Amino acid sequence: MDSSRISEHGFLADGGTAALVDRAGSVNWWCPYRFDAPSVFGRLLDDDAGHWSIAPDGAAGCERAYLDDTLVLRTVFTTRHGAVAVTDALALEPGARGHEIGRRPPRMLARVVQGLSGTVRMRLHYRPRFEYGRVTAFLTVRDGLVEATAGAATLRLRSDVPVEFGVGEATTRFDVRAGETYGFTCAFTPTYDGGRPTVPAAGRVLADATTGWRSWADLHDYRGRYRAEVRRSAMVVQGMTYQPSGAVVAAATTSLPEEPGGDRNYDYRYVWVRDFSLTLQALWRAACPDEANRQFAWVARAMGRIDGEPAPIMYGVEGERDLTEHRLDHLRGYADSRPVFVGNDAWRQRQSDVLGEVLDAAWLMRHYLDPMSAEVRTLLRALADQAATDWRRPDAGMWEARDAERHYVSSKVQCWTALDRAVRFGPRLGDAADVARWAAARDAVREAVLTRGWNDRLGAYAGAFDSADLDASVLIMPLVGFLPAEDPRMRATMDLVERRLSHDGLLRRWDGDPAGFVICSFWLVGCLALAGEQDRAERLFEQLVARVNDLGLFAEQIDPVTGEQLGNFPQAFSHIGLINAAWRLTECADRARTRAVRQPAGERTR
């Protein structure tokens, strides 16, 4: 399959969905209705699943970058005849600024070609394929626009140059001279919505998108270390937010493999409660408190009452719970990695760590939850009650094992987190009897983890009770305050995890994991910083950040040998890990400076 590498892609977003465009100027992924809707450009998963390319007709060099503080992508192609820029963006609502952007996305993809020097021959190939590549549309010209309709979806293309039609495609070649500009806008509409909205000029769309993203960026002024990296990651997380609800999807794609040719190819275009607390922390620390508030409101509405039922662990972007998984057998998959999935059956699993994620997030935002609504109070009480009983049960764990449930240490630790935060809330959450019951359960969880989670033969905390298998998820223990990083057993665990699971700075989740899992590596950064190893933590952080693609984007995993990014892309979890690790480095450095100032001069010289 002749598809671009995952890391070759840039990320465009509009608050409702995303598009991926590669270095060769081809849009290889776009699900225009919303993140988890069927694609109209799906070449990322099969050459025949649709694309839209605009690039020089011949060999060309390529340099690209986002316009400052935007998700507007500018690619400069250089040929022996001259240079040309192609600028791409998903449309934002005209006039939307700051926190309004993306609330009502127009569902349009705009591309502007600008001659920079000489004369460059360009080639456009527009080949939509609806329903994940199943349907070839018939293209016609109507009202001066190229219209493609297939079932419930219609695309209308406005082009500044004439195009020629083939079967299900439009093509053209055109010359661009220095100073000339040509625009192209592709607009999606439901076929039967009864309207035919105007398709604006591409230049206007780009101007609105640039202004909108910059107005959002101006509202967020992170002051900590690694400011540029944090601001870019915060914008990526914002781009992965479904603005009508405030939910953040795990990734923009489905079925990009953890290992080329492998079968762990899951659909990540949904919202995991596991990511919830870390997302909130990241947005908070990146100076995005309004987004954090919307996130908490979303999860409270989505979860509703959970009395007597396991807490749901994931949702659709509008709170849907049934995400039943099925295969798209007509697609070959990225790099021939089958199966391709839509939906994700992890929604059926019990994952007890989500209890801690939500209560930890609530504690982080406790000042904004005062007074606490009855809806939120009922939810948090139910989660704490569930942690007090279900911590004794096995679950699928945070890596969503599909073979058997186990007593995962990280799940127990997060049950402890849920109970610890509930106790801290005290009378705001429950009466004296409730608090006493939660405290007793918290202490029981702690004792169980310290005894059954520790493996003498391994000399470390294992991934599950009574197991000898290492798992990087135990690194959350210092990060949630379960144990200090300086604790001898925790320190030994960190050392062994790094020694056995790390390769060239990338940390695998377990022995046999095909590649380094990016957020685990950032967890190690945080643990090292908490252990007082600031210099080593900073070196590891900078080593990790150097592995982003040329646009500052991370996938889920990275092959430590080849450096190839793997898994769904871009991955919110990875960017959340970067933000939280940068904040941890800032916090620990500030504390160290404060201690140094307070310490007597004579003691500092010993």
The tokens describing 606, both together, are 């010993």
Which amino acid is present at 270?
Y
Q: What mean pLDDT do residues 33-41 have?
A: 96
Confidence category of residue 604, pLDDT binned at 50, 70, 90: very low
Are 91 and 106 within 8 A, CB to CB?
A: yes
CATH number of the domain encompassing residue 107: 2.70.98.10
Summarize the confidence of residues 20-47 as an average pLDDT: 97
Evaluate whether residue 49 is within a structural domain. Answer: yes
Confidence band, pLDDT 50/70/90 cuts, at residue 565: very high
Confidence of residue 605 (pLDDT cuts 50, 70, 90): very low
Domain range for residue 86?
A: 6-217
b/e burial code for range 532-553 (CB count within 10 A of at least 16 → b): ebbeebbebbeebbebbbebbb
pLDDT band at 6 (very low <50, low <70, confident <90, very high): very high
pLDDT(602) > 60: no
Nearest to 87 by CA among 174, 32, 8, 25: 25
| Assigned domain for 173 exists | yes
Alpha carbons 399 and 76: distance in angstroms, whole number: 40
- Could you give the percent of the chain with pLDDT greater than 90? 79
Beta strands in 218-339 (DSSP E): 241-242, 247-248, 271-272, 314-315, 326-327
pLDDT digits (tens, 9 = 90+) for 117-170: 999 999 999 999 999 999 999 899 998 999 999 888 999 999 999 999 999 999
- Average confidence (pLDDT) over 555-567: 95
Among 253, 402, 419, 277, CA closest to 331: 253
- Residues in contact with 248: Cβ distance below 8 Å, sequence separation at least 6, in sequence order: 237, 240, 241, 242, 271, 275, 279, 295, 572
**pLDDT tens-digit profile of 211-233?**
999 999 988 888 899 999 999 99
- Number of structural domains (the chain) is 1
For position 375, what pLDDT does the model report? 84
- DSSP H helical segments within 453-511, as ranges? 476-479, 488-501
- Residue 538's H or E segment, with its range, is helix 534-545
CB atoms within 10 A of CB 221: 10
Kindly report, residue by residue over 264-305, the tens digit of the pLDDT.
999 999 999 887 777 777 777 776 666 666 677 777 788 877
**Banded pLDDT at 598 (limits 50, 70, 90):** low
pLDDT at position 496 is 98
Per-residue pLDDT, averaged over 55-77, amounts to: 97
* CA-based nearest residue to 279, from 250, 245, 301, 302: 250
Spatial distance between the Cα atoms of 146 and 405, rounded to a whole number of angstroms: 53
For 101, 291, 376, 490, the CA distances from 301, given in Å and listed in that order, are 22, 15, 9, 37
Helix (H, G, I), strand (E, B) or coil at 150: strand
pLDDT mean across residues, the chain: 92
Taking 80 as the threshold, does the pLDDT of residue 599 lie above it?
Answer: no
- The CA distance from 99 to 93, in Å, is 12
The C-alpha atoms of residue 530 and residue 537 are separated, in whole angstroms, by 9
Separation between Cα atoms, residue 296 and residue 294, nearest integer Å:
5
Q: Is residue 268 part of a domain?
A: no
Is 226 part of any domain?
A: no
From CA 72, how far away is CA 359, in angstroms rounded?
A: 36
Residue identified by tokens 């790094």 is 498
Tell whether the model's pLDDT for residue 336 goes beyond 70: yes
Kindly indicate the confidence band of residue 197, based on its pLDDT and cuts at 50, 70 and 90. Answer: confident
pLDDT at position 595 is 74
Residue whose entry in the numeric block shows the structure tokens 């609105």: 208
The pLDDT of 52-66, averaged and rounded, is: 97
> Percent of the chain beyond pLDDT 70?
96
- Residue 211: inside a domain: yes
